[in-house]
Chain A
Amino acid sequence: MLRRTHVGAALVAAGALVAGCSGGGSASSAGSGGGAAVTIKAVLPPNTGPITAADNAGLKDLTTQYEKAHKNVTVQWLPNNMSSITQSNAQLESQASGGSAPDVVWEQYGPVTSGALPAGLLQNIKPYLDKPNPYVPGSSSWLSLFQSSVVPYMTSPNGDIDILLGSSVETGFFYSKAAFAKAGIAGPPASWADFMTDLGKLKSAGITPLMYTTGEPCNPSWFERLATSSLLANQVSQFDVNHAQVTNGLDVAVGIHKGIISMNNPRYAAGWKLLGQLVGFSASGQSGYGACQNPNVTTPPQSPQPLLIQGKVGMLWGGSWWIPQLNSAGFTDKFGVFPEPPITSASTPYGLGTSTLGVIGGPNGNGQWSITSQRADSTMTPAKTATVMNFMAWIFTPPHLGSWLKISGSGSYIPTETDAPTVNLPGLSSLVPTGKVPTVVDVVLDDVLSAAATNSGMRLVQNYVNGSMSYPAFASQWQSLLTSSAQAWATQNHVDLSKY
């Protein structure tokens, strides 16, 4: 009898394990848009705190003005504690499955235009963008207010526009001026080979040259984008079937199917060999840090910025949003920044010397929003959608966009609308492309094929970078990941890859 009771107890206790997998999903429901009163539920930019936080002061002012002018509309801003779009989209899909997603959600163009998000979750807002912005007298269309280089990032392969992109960010190598002076480095490198030489000089001077962070996708996905866009620049036309600014899931799946994005293609594999060389100069403990983490995060991955400030590393790979962060940490005038140098034949026989300025950055700053469909958010009737888009037109009026971005990013976010005022932050201009940006090739680490592929890829890169995995083992497993992810993408999106 006693034993039977214990077995029963054991069953119940172990059953909790199974239960752990089936929870989730928010029970909250969006407010009704019925009648004259409309409540808009909108998600704030990530890690900016509540709407009352200093970062969101500009957005709050604009919202208050809008509510005063539209007495029937209330905007409820929801804080966004997500650090990654993968995590945020998982939550969104969970809410959407119950029809309770917010009306306006934080998105990034990668998962929206690549086909990684389930179809039907977001609304096509192009009909609204084709009409004039009601708050910009004389505008031919709202879309015409955006810089022409930004529109391709917003456009899905089928021509729909499911995302608004408010600002751009750029990336570059941040260095300690004191470390460069000690190592006898006169100025920023002109090529990737010069960059590697400088890393060697820093090491010889007793300085840890670099921290290549792998705790979250920022540095790994940046490297993948840099290397692949640069080294495959003369092969991209063979798989870029959508001819967009950034390759999407279909392009990548075709590239993998054709064997161009393949570890058996020496041109593609050369990028990962270059990463292997970089690792030799990186401080250990990479997975404990993430280049996109806020400096105030206390659990790993943490921001690597303190390592630069404390003189523990000579260089870091960061984003334009670091400039005000390093300034406010008291490091003003003690650091410099330069863009990623081009990969030439001096580094690898496959180097083409293509300029990579602007390849990693792009319209990924604050102000990236999508509008959910009625299937994902049961309150989103056509009438409510019109109200929501009217509000978005208000905050995307160029002077408004510039004013709240100036506060939100301390000047580091570059507005995507032509007439929006910008802040000339010292150091930022060197990272911003002035000419045409080459086609950006995103493959695995930026949620192009799937979140699962990104997460598995991150584990492989971590193992490769920390020395747990040799290049041949990495190459074999990376190739398996490419093949299986492309196949899974094709199945999910009902695409027959043999047609290409």
Chain B
Amino acid sequence: MDVTFMGAEPRVDSHLSWWRYRYRPILGVLLLPSLLLIGVFSYYPAVRSLIGGFYQWNGFSAPAYAGISQFRQYIQAPTFGTEARNLGILVGGSIAISLVAQFTAAEIVIHMPRRAATVAKYVLVLPIVLPPLVLIEVWAYLLQPGSGLVDRILGAVSLPQPTWFSDPHLALVGILLVGFPWISNLGFLIFLGGLQNLPKEIKDASRIDGAGPVKRVFAIDIPLLIPQFRIVVILSGIFAVQNFIPILLLTNGGPGTATLVPGLDMYQSAFANDQYGYGMAIGTLLFVAMLIFTLAVMRVLRPRTN
């Protein structure tokens, strides 16, 4: 390890060095339980499910080797295309929502007077502590057909009252609406942190060059925040794939297959249909798809400097 700093010679404390050497095995032993627990509860299940996709298993009888047949079965299933399309819409929608809503909110907050900005930050961030299940319950009520608040408002102004979660054309929109206005999220904090750390000299220079607020956002803020955009896109994408809980609770993938996504199919195959091997095969395919997505985003949104 390089211990020099700004050309200065390191001053080695011989006592500290001896202490480190003496207690290194103890530190290793202290770390062992954490490593063991992570291995057992995180890495082992992940590796186990990679293997499990090659076996047919109903959860009770002995597993039977099935080769790649379950992977092929999923790709050839009549619902595969619909699931891929629904997932694409949800991932695309979630990313667009995150980028637009959270970046816009961060831009607004950063340009507010200091005291108002502090209040706005707390107000916008506090809902993060709301349990997701409560949020889903709230939206289940808001979008309840006929008697929900949204339909009541629409009815009061003589507009059609959609059935939201049970209309095959609107169900995905309903799922995307959960969490509106989508600001209270990690992405907002990431953008806010990035904007707060932009070099003041560059902002001043752009002002002197006559750049207006809109031009500054597109010419200065967005290009300099590419690393933040990258991480928000990746996190939003992964979250949209993993978070099938609103779908499970609000539509169960229906009506029909209108909101069916691979994550829900994976869960239901394993835990409702007793097809654990098939569920693990779907999980493995999802893992590969998300890996490709992540690498592609990192490639496309890599920092470009001259």
Contacts and interface: CB of A to CB of B under 8 A. Distances in A.
Nearest to A467: B168
Interface in B283-306: 283-284, 286-287, 290-291, 294-295, 298, 302
A19 B45 contact: yes
B256 A463 contact: yes
B268 A288 contact: no
A118 B60 contact: yes
B92 interface: no
B257 A463 contact: yes
A378 interface: no
B59 interface: yes
A469 B256 contact: yes
Given A90-B272, A300-B140, A466-B166, A19 B291 contact: no
B166 A13 contact: no
Contacts of A11: 291
A284 B151 CA distance: 14
B266 to A, nearest CB: 5
Q: B interface, how many residues as a size bin?
A: 35 or more
Contact of A90 (B45, B258, B271, B298): B271
Nearest to B288: A14
A10 B234 contact: yes
Contacts of A477: 78
B285 to A, nearest CB: 10
Contacts of B269: 452
Main secondary structure of the interface of B (DSSP, over half): helix
A302 B252 CA distance: 13
B256 A22 contact: no
Given A18-B287, A22-B280, A462 B254 contact: yes
Contacts of A14: 238, 287, 290-291, 294
A289 B147 CA distance: 14
Contacts of A20: 242, 263, 266-267, 283
Given A21-B49, A300-B251, A455-B268, A10 B291 contact: yes
Contacts of B165: 287-288, 300
B301 to A, nearest CB: 11
B298 A6 contact: yes
B283 A18 contact: yes
Given A22-B48, A93-B58, A451-B273, A287 B140 contact: no
A489 B109 CA distance: 60
Nearest to B246: A299
Given A18-B46, A121-B60, A24 B272 contact: no
A17 B136 contact: no
Contact of A459 (B256, B274, B286): B256
Given A285-B163, A286-B166, A468 B256 contact: yes
- Dominant SS at the A interface? helix
B49 A18 contact: yes
Contacts of A21: 49, 52, 266-267, 270, 279-280, 282-283
Contacts of A298: 137, 140-141
Interface in A20-52: 20-24
B52 to A, nearest CB: 6
Task: From B43, B241, B271, B295, name the one whose CB has the most chain A CB atoms within 10 angstroms.
Answer: B271
Interface string A72-91: 00000000000000110111
Contact of B168 (A16, A376, A466): A466
Give the one of B252, B254, B266, B290 with max A CB within 10 A: B254
Contacts of B256: 287, 459-460, 462-463, 466, 468-469
Contact of A462 (B255, B272, B274): B255
A87 B270 CA distance: 11
Nearest to B235: A13
A3 B272 contact: no
Which of B147, B166, B234 is packed against the most chain A CB atoms within 10 Å? B166
Given A21-B280, A87-B272, A459-B256, A299 B140 contact: yes
A390 interface: no
A24 B283 CA distance: 14
A22 B52 contact: yes
B241 A17 contact: yes
Interface of A: 3, 6-7, 10-11, 13-24, 86-87, 89-91, 93-94, 96-97, 118, 120-121, 214-215, 284-289, 298-302, 306, 312, 376, 450-452, 455, 458-460, 462-463, 466, 468-469, 477, 480, 492
Given A22-B280, A376-B60, A451-B273, 19 more contacts: A3-B298, A11-B291, A13-B294, A17-B290, A19-B42, A19-B49, A20-B283, A21-B282, A22-B48, A214-B254, A215-B254, A285-B145, A287-B166, A288-B145, A300-B140, A452-B269, A460-B256, A466-B166, A468-B258
Interface of B: 42-43, 45-46, 48-50, 52, 58-61, 78-79, 136-137, 140-141, 144-147, 163, 165-168, 234, 238, 241-242, 249-258, 260, 263, 266-275, 279-280, 282-284, 286-287, 290-291, 294-295, 298, 302
18 contacts: A10-B291, A11-B291, A15-B43, A17-B238, A17-B242, A17-B263, A20-B266, A21-B280, A90-B273, A287-B255, A288-B145, A312-B146, A376-B60, A451-B274, A455-B273, A466-B166, A468-B256, A469-B256
In the A-B complex, the 6 residue pairs with the smallest Cβ-Cβ separation, listed nearest first, are A463-B256, A21-B283, A285-B163, A22-B49, A452-B273, A287-B255
